[in-house]
Structure 1
Amino acid sequence: MNVGDFAPNFSLKDQDGQVVELASLRGKKVLLSFHPLAWTSVCAKQMLSLEQWFEEFEKFNVVPLGLSVDPIPSKKAWADNLGISKLKLLSDFWPHGNVAKLFGIFREKDGFSERANILIDEKGKIVFFKVYPIKELPNLDEIFAFLKSSE
């Protein structure tokens, strides 16, 4: 997938077992923030930054979502452990990594996704797509700069 492509629709459950369908979020921008695995330090910082800046995302009509291949019970325990209450952490557990595969960012040899931020506009088109080195924390400043420049 590339900038300009329409994002494939998907449905995944969040840490509370609630179904989130991408198509149901049309009319809002959606930030898909893929992280390799829960319970790791960079992934925790990545999700905590989304939680911290949640209201700022709302000002730009953006719904941030965290995605990884971890199962729902693990996502729930991790969210509770981190104190995440606003951000939805989606489980791309089964079929394993299917959504990451749809976006072309599943690492077959590792069994998890790349670390990536993918921003989808109100009509479902990808407008920002960046893969980060696995050990690098994505910088949200670049997302906010992009959002401000596209107003």
Structure 2
Amino acid sequence: MTPITIGADAPDFKAKDNKKQDIKLSDFKGKKVLLSWHPLAWTPVCTDQMRALETNFEKFQNLNTVPLGFSVDSQPCKEAWATVLQIKKVSLPSDFWPHGKIASDYGIFDETKGISARANIIINEDGKVQWIKVYPSEQLPDINEVLQVLSNNQ
């Protein structure tokens, strides 16, 4: 697994989210996009990671950033999970089919486990990878670190 490099063009994608909407990176030109990858829904650390996105949604908006909570779970799974977690503002796109293609395009798909790494990838307003951090799967990403990176690069 070799993550995409900083400065690279971010690969465009199209994925259905928890609200059954098509989400495309190219729709967010002029905004920063946070791809917050979690390995699997319904697990404790992933739950806390997605709740942190929802809790800080207004801060992301103030930083001209769209947070997206990605995983390889199916769209119906993401929809049910978002309902249980009461995630209403943040979009949770599914990288289910072709399985893990988007994670693979970003170099964070674990072929042996069939899941993505836990990672945060920031894409700038011009569609370039601005920042990437891959975490141990059991580690909750520090949302304040992500917000600080976004604040420093306005």
TM-score (norm 2): 0.96
Asked whether 1:42 is paired with 2:40, we answer no
Asked whether 1:126 is paired with 2:133, we answer no
Corresponding position of 2:26: 23
Secondary structure of the residue aligned to 1:91 is: coil
Secondary structure of the residue aligned to 2:93 is: strand
Which amino acid is the alignment partner of residue 142 of structure 1?
Answer: E
C-alpha separation in 1, matches of 2:56 and 2:88: 12
C-alpha separation in 2, matches of 1:2 and 1:46: 23
Give the alignment partner of residue 149 of structure 1, picking from 130, 149, 152: 152
C-alpha separation in 2, matches of 1:72 and 1:145: 31
CA offsets, 1:58-87, max 9 Å, x none? 000000000001111110110000000001
Secondary structure of the residue aligned to 2:149 is: helix
Corresponding position of 2:56: 53
Asked whether 1:86 is paired with 2:89, we answer yes
Q: Considering only aligned residues, what root-mean-square deviation do their CA atoms show, in Å? A: 0.6
Give the alignment partner of residue 142 of structure 2, picking from 139, 142, 148: 139
Q: Which runs of 5+ in 2 are unaligned?
A: none
CA offsets, 1:95-139, max 9 Å, x none? 000000000000011110000000000000111100000000000
C-alpha separation in 2, matches of 1:16 and 1:130: 27
Runs of 4+ residues over 3 Å off in structure 1: none
Corresponding position of 1:108: 111
State the number of aligned residues: 151
